[in-house]
Amino acid sequence: MDCLFCKIIAGEIPSSKVYEDEKVYAFNDISPAAPCHVLIVPKEHIESANDLNEENADILKNIFLTAKMIAKEKGIAEKGYRIVNNCGEDGGQSVKHLHFHLLGGRSLEWPPG
């Protein structure tokens, strides 16, 4: 499949890995928007939040627990952080493999643009 994040998970394209287990892969964003900017993705190819269903949505638990664990490891848990999913064109999704941004290490603005 011609998917950038599937290739990263498979090790065909290099990445700065932060965490990996049976179901989840996490790596530093190549263009960080904050001092901590980690992408957390399911190893299973799911295109976007629109493609979540009763069968595959259990992965969200793994993703959020991974985000929490990484936030603690990076020392940003106490001050806070943001977990973001962009879905589709209007949501600003540029890579069509479900991913969650873990952003922190500075005060983040709200609302987003």
Contact map string, positions 3 to 22, toward Zn ion, x by CB under 5 A: x-xx----------------
Enter the tokens of residue 100: 């969650």
Nearer to ligand AMP, 31 or 54 (CB): 31
Enter the tokens of residue 60: 């969200």
99 is catalytic: yes
Triad 88, 46, 87: Cα angle to 5°? 15
Q: Smallest distance, Å, CB 13 to Zn ion?
A: 11
- Give 70: exposed, middle or buried? Use CB within 10 Å, 0-12, 13-18, 19+: buried
Q: Does 52 bind ligand AMP (CB under 6 A)?
A: no
| Residues of this chain that bind Zn ion (CB under 5 A) | 3, 5-6, 45, 97
